[in-house]
Chain A
Amino acid sequence: ELKVEQNPLFLSMQEGKNYTIYCNYSTTSDRLYWYRQDPGKSLESLFVLLSNGAVKQEGRLMASLDTKARLSTLHITAAVHDLSATYFCAVDRDGNQFYFGTGTSLTVIP
């Protein structure tokens, strides 16, 4: 059974602080995705990581992938309120099946 687990599930952080969300997965996969979801909305693509060691950055978010450890991280730098949302990682298995992690609900407090 494929498992994609994130931690923490809930994260409350102050503005200006840094934090990391972790995504562990149980299958062999070279592709890892990060999405953002606002309440009542669909999914917004943040990053696609395509190989071991891949690192991508956009604004205050940076994602990395270690395929050997089956681990991806989403690092938040100097958080701002606008980053409050739920973040999902997702794993591609065999190029067609696509499974989401458990999600991390982030609240940034002024």
Chain B
Amino acid sequence: DAMVIQNPRYQVTQFGKPVTLSCSQTLNHNVMYWYQQKSSQAPKLLFHYYDKDFNNEADTPDNFQSRRPNTSFCFLDIRSPGLGDTAMYLCATRGVGGNTIYFGEGSWLTVV
């Protein structure tokens, strides 16, 4: 059974129209990550949570926000998507001190 579930798997949105991607986990892990992966590029870390502590990467655009209302759920909000935000967005989790990182199946976002 999938342990990190991302929704929606595929989303097409219009330029400038806010979009929210969700991630849920059944592992009770403390750490959750959001990555952006554009075509033919490596996954790029946007931010991560350690429990409720939010850690933003220095080069993550302000257009990207995140919420973690509880241990199980994490959301990625893109306030005003641009064409350059077309990408796969990956959620991942990790237990404290854990060596294994669990990835979701990814959410494909297309901005038109």
Q: Is B104 an interface residue (CB 8 A)?
A: yes
* A76, B45: Cα distance in complex, Å: 28
Residue in B42, B55, B90 with the greatest tally of chain A CB atoms within 10 Å: B42
- Residue of A50, A88, A97 touching B99 (CB-CB under 8 A): A50
Q: Interface residue tally of chain A, by bracket?
A: 10 to 19
Tell me if B31 is interfacial: C-beta within 8 Å of chain A: yes
B48-A31 in contact (CB<8A): no
Contact code string A16-46 (vs B, CB < 8 Å = 1, else 0):
0000000000000001010000000111010
For B90, the closest partner residue in chain A by CB is: A42
CA A88 to CA B92, docked complex, whole Å: 15
Shortest C-beta distance, A102 to chain B (Å), equals 6
Which of B92, B101, B105 is packed against the most chain A CB atoms within 10 Å? Answer: B101
Q: Which of B55, B90, B104, B105 has a CB less than 8 Å from the CB of A96?
A: B55
* B55 proximity list for chain A (CB < 8 A): 96-97
> Which residues of A in the span 70-105 have a Cβ within 8 Å of any Cβ on B?
88, 95-103, 105
**Are A42 and B104 touching (Cβ within 8 A)?**
yes
Q: Is B43 an interface residue (CB 8 A)?
A: yes
CB distance B90 to A43 under 8 Å? yes
Does A11 sit at the interface, judged by CB under 8 A? Answer: no
Q: How far is the CA of A31 from the CA of B99 in the complex (A)?
A: 8
Known: A42-B103, A45-B101. A96 touches B50 (CB 8 A): yes
Q: Measured between alpha carbons, how far is A74 from B62 in the docked complex, in Å?
A: 37
**5 nearest A-B pairs in the assembled complex, by CB-CB distance:** A100-B42, A42-B106, A103-B42, A43-B103, A100-B43
Chain B residues with CB under 8 A of A48: 99-100
Chain B residues within 8 Å of A97, by CB: 45, 48, 55
Task: Flag B36-50 by CB within 8 Å of A: 1 or 0 each.
Answer: 000011111100101
What are 23 of the A-B contact pairs (CB < 8 Å)? A31-B99, A41-B105, A41-B106, A42-B106, A43-B43, A43-B103, A45-B100, A48-B100, A88-B42, A96-B55, A96-B94, A97-B45, A97-B48, A97-B55, A98-B45, A98-B48, A98-B94, A98-B101, A100-B35, A100-B44, A101-B42, A103-B41, A105-B40
